[in-house]
Amino acid sequence: MLRECCEIELHESKEYPPSREELIKKIRDKDALLCLLTDKIDAEVMDAAPNLKVISTYSVGFDHIDIPEATKRGIYVTHTPGVLTDAVAEFTVGLILAVTRRIVEADKIIRSGQWDKPWNPYFLTGPELKGKTIGLIGLGRIGVATAKRLSSFEVKILYYDLERRWDVETVLPNMQFADIDTVLSESDIVSIHVPLTKDTYHLINEEKLKKMKKTAYLINTARGPVVDTEALVKALREGWIAGAALDVFEQEPLPPTHPLTKFDNVVLAPHIASATIEARQRMAELAARNLIAVLKGEMPPALVNKEVLKIRPLEKVKMI
Ligand code: GLV
């Protein structure tokens, strides 16, 4: 799609993601950037690109881009919401089942030759979902899609968000709005679905983890820095919670020596919640459509910084 209307410089070298130096060097003469969530796009990068009109990220999250700096410079920032919602919700359910029903642990036991006795009643037992309370921190697109799927397990869902979602409660009568501390203290499973912002950085810290039940599990498919990793390691070590399933980390890739890798009651995934073939294809298409729309002076399907329209109207960025 991009090649049909633009000249492209594709980062194809072995070094992945591109170094900051390379990004700054290559972006100098570019009108548009299609980036990944591993590319930190801040004022320094934007200053190096005086022609830049659009930053299209191949991700729904945009915490790697300094939005106010982009807006100030009249740079359009676009992302890929909606198209990966189902993939992430499906994966979240997968993580919940994996950690509570100890699926990864079970697989390891067989492979390491530890399945040495036949069927026995209390081997690898875990909690049943039916009748439990699930807490959702954040009820945006992904939170709602997760709630819909989990509802089929006949659970009660407590959710916390900045706004009460009457529309969702109408469709899912098992849902109840609550403050964050109630969600944490009453839920058997807490799943995080907020974006990373300065307000959600380390939202789940030592104090919040202490509010959780000793039998509860923490699931994170949102962004690593929403959880204070050190506090989580302490919580797992000291048994404040029963376990965790994590797809995102403060440090990515997570080193194999990291303390989180030492717990059997922790399921780890390498930031793959949106990794269905379908979602990744749709993300690619939407990222391309967003970028092309801006260069055509048309409203992109998923604009992050709407205020930019006043700073540099679409007709001023039109070039194809
Ligand atoms: C993945 O984490 C995304 O933000 O798309």
Nearest CA to ligand 1 atom 3: 59
pLDDT, averaged across the chain: 98
What is the pLDDT at residue 145? Answer: 98
Query: How many angstroms separate the CA atoms of 34 and 79, rounded?
Result: 10
Max Cα separation, the chain?
A: 72
* 186 a catalytic residue: no
Q: In which band, very low, low, confident or very high, does the pLDDT at 39 lie, cut at 50, 70 and 90?
A: very high
Cα–Cα distance measured from residue 67 to residue 94, given in angstroms and rounded to the nearest whole number: 33
- Residue 148's nearest CA partner among 86, 228, 223, 64 is 86
223 CA closest ligand 1 atom index? 2
Please give all residues whose beta carbon lies within 6 A of any atom in ligand 1, as ranges: 37, 59-61, 84, 274
Residue 57 CA: nearest ligand 1 atom is 5
Mean pLDDT value of segment 143-157: 98
Query: Any catalytic annotation for residue 79?
Result: no
Assigned superfamily of 85-268: NAD(P)-binding Rossmann-like Domain (3.40.50.720)
Inter-axis angle of helices 85-100 and 277-295, to 10 degrees? 150
pLDDT surpasses 90 at 14: no
Spatial strand order of the sheet with 76-78 comes to 32-35, 54-57, 76-78
Q: How far is the CA of 172 from the centre of ligand 1 (A)?
A: 26
Global pTM reads 0.97
In the set 44, 252, 278, 298, the catalytic residue is 252
pLDDT(15) > 90: no
Closest C-alpha among 11, 143, 56, 83 to residue 280: 83
pLDDT tens digits, 269-312: 999 999 999 999 999 999 999 999 999 999 999 999 999 999 99
Q: What is the full DSSP assignment across 115-162? A: --S---TTTT----STT-EEEEE--SHHHHHHHHHHHTT--EEEEE-S
Domain extent listing, the chain: 20-82+277-317, 85-268
User: Ligand 1 centroid vs 278 CA: distance in angstroms?
Assistant: 14
> Band of the pLDDT at 243, cuts 50, 70, 90?
very high
Quick: pLDDT tens for 183-202.
999 999 999 999 999 999 99
Q: In the annotation, is 193 catalytic?
A: no
Q: What is the average pLDDT across 60-80?
A: 98
Considering only the top CATH level, what class is 20-82+277-317? alpha beta
Condensed to tens digits (0 to 9), the pLDDT of residues 283-292 reads 999 999 999 9
174: Cβ contacts below 8 Å, ≥ 6 apart: 151, 154, 155, 156, 157
Domains 20-82+277-317 and 85-268 share a fold: yes
**Arithmetic mean of pLDDT, 73-97:** 98
pLDDT at 13: 83
| Nearest atom of ligand 1 to the alpha carbon of 59 | 5
